[in-house]
Amino acid sequence: MSTADPWERDSRPSDDTGPLARVHVRAPGKINLFLGVGDLDEDGYHPLSTVFQAVSLYEDVIATPADGFSVGVSGVEDPETVPLDDRNLALRAAKMLAAATAYDGGVHLQIHKRVPVAGGMGGGSADAAAALVACNELWRTGLGADRLHELAARLGADVPFALMGGTAVGSGRGDVLTPALSRGRYEWVLLLDDEGLSTPAVYRALDMVRAEDAEFGAADAEARRRQDPVQVPSSFFESLLSGDPFELGQSLRNQLQAGSFRLRPQLEETIERVCDSGGGSVVGALVSGSGPTIAFLCESAEAADLTAATLRVQGRTALRAHGPARGAHLVAGTD
């Protein structure tokens, strides 16, 4: 079956029973506004206590019918960074849905990426969430939100949130989600790094930092080495409800960033420098997830535009986004 020109057509049939020719789904990247990380459990995972916010950096996934399974990617500078084989999370999502529903056809997935690869913003997870929604529609397999969530959780801890979007509290491995009330719109500047960070390597670096703290008797070592992740305090939810960027800025926290700083010390220096030079208009900053993307929260859209422009003049890649944003959703019509 032809997979040509997936970006140029939108040809849903007029009735809703015939085969679809193309389904377009968009899914957001995320920032962890709060990330508490516990010590390794027996299964080799770190329990998490997190608050996700979806942001307006979207991955576009277009699904077209095909005999087998394949994936193509655009929007990345270095194509080598995204695998096109079974390691690709979107392809795995499509195959998992086919297996779960006994669907015997295939799909070609064309992904246009905007979320930085290996940037700690869950781009691969967004692709997987979008692929689940797109294939479920294309194949008319009709799984409901609960079943899609189940498959998403099997694909990775961040995938269910990419389906859901908005703002949500995640516990367990981040996949047990509860929507969180949030008021207003938050303006972000995302500062990219040329080279990604491997999430497992950042967790290992965090384990190392914690072990050293214990060994050298750092004053707050006990507090930091608790078995359980630091829980989201109630004041955090109050700041989300306030809709006030200053309040949220004060509450941002990422326990994992000690690992990112260990692997890339310049991240800590950059956060300090940008916050100090922002004249108070940058109201909070943290490493996004495992990094190396840094998320700066600004007091207004204008302040964020100015901060991003200043960073670009300095030769850095800075993107603008706002949150919260919608979870994986169908894009209708031609685009």
Q: How far is the CB of 87 from ligand ATP (least distance, A)?
A: 5
Tokens standing for 207? 């384990």
CB-CB contact of 297 with 282 (8 Å): yes
Residue 287 or residue 297: which is nearer to ligand ATP going by CB?
287
**95 catalytic residue (yes or no):** no
Give the shortest CB-162-to-ligand ATP separation in angstroms: 10
Distance CA 199, CA 236 (A): 25
Q: In angstroms, what is the minimal distance from the CB of 71 to ligand ATP?
A: 7
Name the residue nearer to ligand ATP (CB basis): 121 or 304.
121
Residues at the contact surface with ligand ATP, assessed by CB under 6 A = 81-83, 87-90, 117-125, 127, 158, 196, 199, 289-290
Q: How far is the CB of 46 from ligand ATP (least distance, A)?
A: 12
Listed in sequence order, the DSSP H helices in 36-172 are 89-101, 123-138, 145-155, 159-164
Judged by beta carbon, residue 59 or residue 299, the one nearer ligand ATP is 59
Tracing tokens 């692929």 back to the chain, one arrives at: 131
The answer to whether the CB of 170 falls within 8 A of the CB of 132 is: no
Q: Which residue is nearest to ligand ATP (CB)?
A: 124
What is the closest distance, in whole angstroms, from the C-beta atom of residue 216 to ligand ATP in the complex? 29
Distances (CA, A) of 21 to 11, 74, 149, 296, 312: 6, 20, 25, 41, 40
Identity at 264, one-letter amino acid code:
R
Known catalytic membership, residue 113: no
Radius of gyration, alpha carbons of the chain? 20
Residue 324: asked if its preceding bond is cis (omega within 30°), the reply is yes
SS3 137: helix
Question: Which CB atom, from 126 or from 303, has the smaller least distance to ligand ATP?
Answer: 126
279: its two tokens: 């004249």
Beta strand pairing call for 23-37 and 48-66: antiparallel
Closer to ligand ATP by CB, 122 or 324: give it. 122
**Which is nearest to 191 in space by CA: 314, 85, 100?**
314
Q: How far, in Å, CA of 31 to CA of 289, rounded?
A: 7
CA distance 286 to 33: 8
The catalytic position among 60, 158, 175, 213 is 158
| Cβ-based nearer residue to ligand ATP, 47 or 119 | 119
CB of 121 to ligand ATP, least distance (A): 5
How long, in residues, is the chain?
A: 335
Catalytic residues: 30, 158
